[in-house]
Amino acid sequence: MSILPRISSATALHGIPVVSPSGRKLGTMDDVVVGVATGRVLHAVVALDEASELGERYYAVPWEALTFDPAYDRCVLNVPIETLRAAPAFPSRDALNDADPRLRRMLNDHFGEYRSAAA
């Protein structure tokens, strides 16, 4: 039985492995950011493995770019590695300001439009 239930708290997702579409481990789910006024998930923060060749460690990615794979208790980031490599990245979790509207614009510009949880 999967540890990923159909309904979960955000804290339960912390540490879930994040893999590429080919199954290559990229890192772990660090955080899930929710628009408080709407209750919708805005984006996820993925912490890449330290040994990653991508450079910075923390990436904000649109929630819609993720698919949960309960058969393997993991999350699949459905973007090419090149797209992630060029995405906005941050050296630490503290450097990522989830409330900054410029972050949402950067994500929209990079990954394409997705529904804003803040709207």
Domain limits for position 89? 10-111
Which residues are bridge partners to 25 per DSSP? 19
What pTM was estimated for this model as a whole?
Answer: 0.79
Q: Considering its fold, how many domains does the chain have in total?
A: 1
pLDDT of residue 52: 56
Query: Does 18 reside within a domain?
Result: yes
Query: Does 1 reside within a domain?
Result: no
Query: Does 117 reside within a domain?
Result: no
Q: In Å, how far are 24, 82, 105 from 12, measured between CA atoms?
A: 22, 29, 28
Query: Does 2 reside within a domain?
Result: no
pLDDT of residue 18: 94
For 60-119, write each residue's pLDDT tens digit: 999 889 998 888 889 999 988 778 878 878 878 888 788 788 888 888 888 876 544 333
CATH number (domain holding residue 99):
2.30.30.240
pLDDT of residue 101: 81
Query: Does 42 reside within a domain?
Result: yes
Cα dihedral 11/17/21/22 (nearest 10): -170
Contact at 8 Å (CB) between 77 and 65?
yes
Reported as type and span, the H/E element at residue 111 is helix 101-111
Contact at 8 Å (CB) between 43 and 22?
no
| CA gap 29, 17 in Å, rounded | 6
| CA gap 114, 44 in Å, rounded | 13
